[in-house]
Amino acid sequence: MDWNIASMAARRAVTTSFENTGAHRQGLSQMSEFAGKTVLITGAAGGFGRLLAARFADAGANVVLGDIDDDALLAFAGTLGSRVAFRRCDVTREGDQADLVDLAMSRFGRLDIAINNAGGTSPMKGFLETTGEDLDWNFALNAKGVFHGMKHQIRAMIDNGGGSVLNVASVAGIAGAPKNTGYCAAKHAVVGMTKTAAVEFARANVRVNAICPYFSLTPLVTQSNLIERKAQLEAAAPMKRLAEPEEVVAAILAIVTPANSYMTGQAIAVDGGLSAF
């Protein structure tokens, strides 16, 4: 089953069960805090980015979307209404990142929330088989891609009087990742940059946090050879399953909500209990 259809079905089931509860009303209240905010998302045409963009748009936020997949981005942005701006963004190119922030400022006049979601992983191989080129590829996309975005996003937020940056790292950013040295090293770098920036810009009212998910049923898993290892990956987590994308998105929303104004410099694991060992 297509992952997006599956997650939508799961979301409908959860909404039905909670719609008359305080938990559901609290969720609606949380989302209303994003109305009128300007939210920038990289990697917005798929995975967590796509789900986040839809949730923010539904909440009345202005959404600024970047992705390297032009066609998918164009098709998706057209479903989000009038409060959307988008452009092609290769996060490995600092100029593209600067242009995406400039688009937010020129279209909506401010930037309140930035979610550095774009990323990926190279083929898995052992430590001794990993090459310098493998490290370069992972750092260019997963570490420098976040670094360049943060530079321009934080500058814009300082001018606004503050904001919130959320970097999508990985549980591999806070633990080891056998057979995935380059990815693990780059995601550790993301966590390190998150903590450093949080300390530097706390007085400027810019919060910087990271989320560290375990494998989730996004296309990164379902449309790669990782799906062949699904049972093995599930067995590694105490919950004995992989995350639904909506579960990770819910955690991201909780981190960046304006009500969560005293959290900064944190790397939050969403991993079914894996990091609790």
Read off the pLDDT of residues 230-246 as tens digits, 9 standing for 90 and up: 999 999 999 999 999 99
pLDDT of residue 215: 86
Residue type at 131 in one-letter notation: T
pTM of the model: 0.88
**Given pLDDT bands bounded at 50, 70 and 90, which one contains residue 30?**
low
- Residues marked as catalytic: 183
Position 11 scores a pLDDT of 35
Taking residue 122's Cβ as centre, other Cβ atoms within 10 Å add up to 20
- The confidence band for 154, taking pLDDT boundaries of 50, 70 and 90, is very high
8-state DSSP, 27? H
62 in helix, strand or coil?
Answer: strand
Closest-CA residue to 276 (of 170, 171, 167) = 171
Q: Which residue has the higher pLDDT, 175 or 224?
A: 175
- Which of 9-13, 122-126, 206-210 reaches the highest mean pLDDT? 206-210
**Quick one: pLDDT band at residue 220, thresholds 50, 70, 90?**
confident
Return the beta strands (E) in the chain as ranges.
38-42, 62-67, 84-88, 113-116, 163-168, 206-213, 267-270
CB 216 within 8 A of CB 127: no
